[in-house]
Chains A and B, each alone.
Chain A
Amino acid sequence: MTMTCNEACAVIAGQESGALVVTTMSAMFGYQKASQSPTVMSSVPLMGGASGIGLGLALARPEKQVLVLDGDSSLLMELGSLATVAGQKPENFKHFVFKNNAQFAGIANAEVPGGAGVDFAAAALASGYAGAHKVETLEQLKEQLPAILVETGPVLVELSIGAPQKFGRSAPQPEIPDMQFQRMGAEARRVMQALAEA
C-alpha cells in the first residue's frame, strides 16, 4: 500500500528540525501544506533542478541538514546529478524521491519514461551515494525516518507515492499563475534572510 504525497510531506515536515528543504513538483504543494518553515524553497518551474540546488546548499552550509524532495520524472531529467552529488560526498544531504510514476505535479496524464520499474535507490548506490532506502508505506516512513535523518549522506530515499489525478474534460488544465514563476526567487531570498538572521 502506497502513501499520498501530502502524507509523506507531513511526516517529513514533522520530523525535521531546522533543515534547508528544496522541493519540486507535487512535493512542493504537499510540503507547503505541511510546513511554514522559512528555510524551504522550490525548484519551480524547473523540473530536474532540485538535486543541484540542494547540493549547492549542502556544500555552502555543511552544518545544516539539507533535504531534497524530488520527483521521479524530475530526477530522470537530471539523473546524472546522482553522480554529481556523490562526487562531492555531502554528508548532510538527504534525497527523497517521490515515485508516483507520473510526469507532472499533482495532476498527471503521462507516465514517466521507463515506467514504475526504474530503481532510483539502485541508481543512487551505483552512482556512489552512501546509502539508499525504499519506503513503501506511511508506517514504514514514520518508523524509518528518524534513523535516516541521522545517517551520513548522501542518502536517497525512494518513496512509493499513490497515483495523482489526471486532466480531462471534467478537469481541464488551469492557467499557470504569475506566482509560479516568481516563487523560486522569492523563496530563495526568504531562505537567505533566515540564514542571515540565524
Chain B
Amino acid sequence: MAVSDFSVPASAILERFKANGVTHATTVPDLVQLSLHAELAEDDDVQLIECAAENQALTTAFGLHVGGKTPVVVMQNQGLMNCLNTLRSVGISAQTPMVISVGQFGREFANLGEDTASSGRVVVNTIEPVLEAMGIPFERLETAEDLDRVDACFAKAREAQCPVVLLVGHYTAWA
C-alpha cells in the first residue's frame, strides 16, 4: 500500500465530526492533522479555538460541554503526554464524554500499516499502553476505511461518559 493511502481526507473527518454534532474544536495545532486544522479554520459550522497548551484545550472543552456544546479536542501524541493529569481530572474523574483526536507525530513511514508497538519512536509506541493504563478507550484511524471509527469514538464517549481517543496514524490528506 502506498504511503498516501494512509492519509485520510481531512474533509471526511470533519464531516464525521459534524455528523456527531460537534460545535467546537479546541486545539493545539498538530503537524499530523494540519489539513484537518485548515478545514476547521475555514468551516462556518464548527468554531475553532486555538489554545496555548493541551491542558487548556481539555479544560476549555470541558467548559463547553458543561455549557451545552459538543466539542472535539485535536492535539498530537506529545500533547497528550503533556496533559495526562488534566485528562484524568476533567475526563475520567468528572466522567465527561469527550473525543480527543490525537496525531501520531513522529511515526516512521515504514511503520504505517504495522502495529505502533513496533515503532522505534517512544512517543509513538507508548501512546496506546498509556491510554490502556489510564483506562481510556481508543480507536485507530489508519485509512479511509476506518472512518466509521470516528463515529465509534463519539458513541463510546456518550455511552460510557468518558474520554475516548481517536489515534490518527498518519498525516491527514489535504482533501
Contact = CB atoms under 8 A, between A and B. Distances in A.
B51 interface: yes
A108 interface: no
Interface stretch (A6-14, A26-34, A43-51, A134-142): A43-51
A149 interface: no
Given A49-B90, A52-B63, A56-B59, A84 B51 contact: yes
B47 A46 contact: no
B77 interface: no
Interface stretch (B91-99, B125-133, B137-145): B91-99
B58 interface: yes
A192 interface: yes
Interface stretch (B36-44, B67-75, B110-118, B151-159): B67-75
Nearest to B61: A56
A113 interface: no
Interface string B48-66: 0111110111111111111
Interface residues of A, number: 36
Interface size for chain B: under 10, 10 to 19, 20 to 34, or 35 or more residues?
20 to 34
Nearest to B64: A56
A22 B90 CA distance: 13
B54 to A, nearest CB: 10
Interface of A: 20, 22, 41, 43, 45-46, 48-61, 78, 80-81, 83-84, 87-88, 181-182, 184-185, 188, 191-192, 195-196
27 contacts: A20-B67, A43-B59, A46-B85, A48-B86, A49-B55, A52-B51, A52-B56, A52-B57, A53-B62, A53-B63, A55-B63, A56-B26, A56-B59, A56-B67, A57-B66, A59-B64, A59-B69, A60-B63, A60-B64, A60-B67, A61-B68, A78-B52, A181-B93, A184-B89, A184-B94, A185-B96, A191-B66
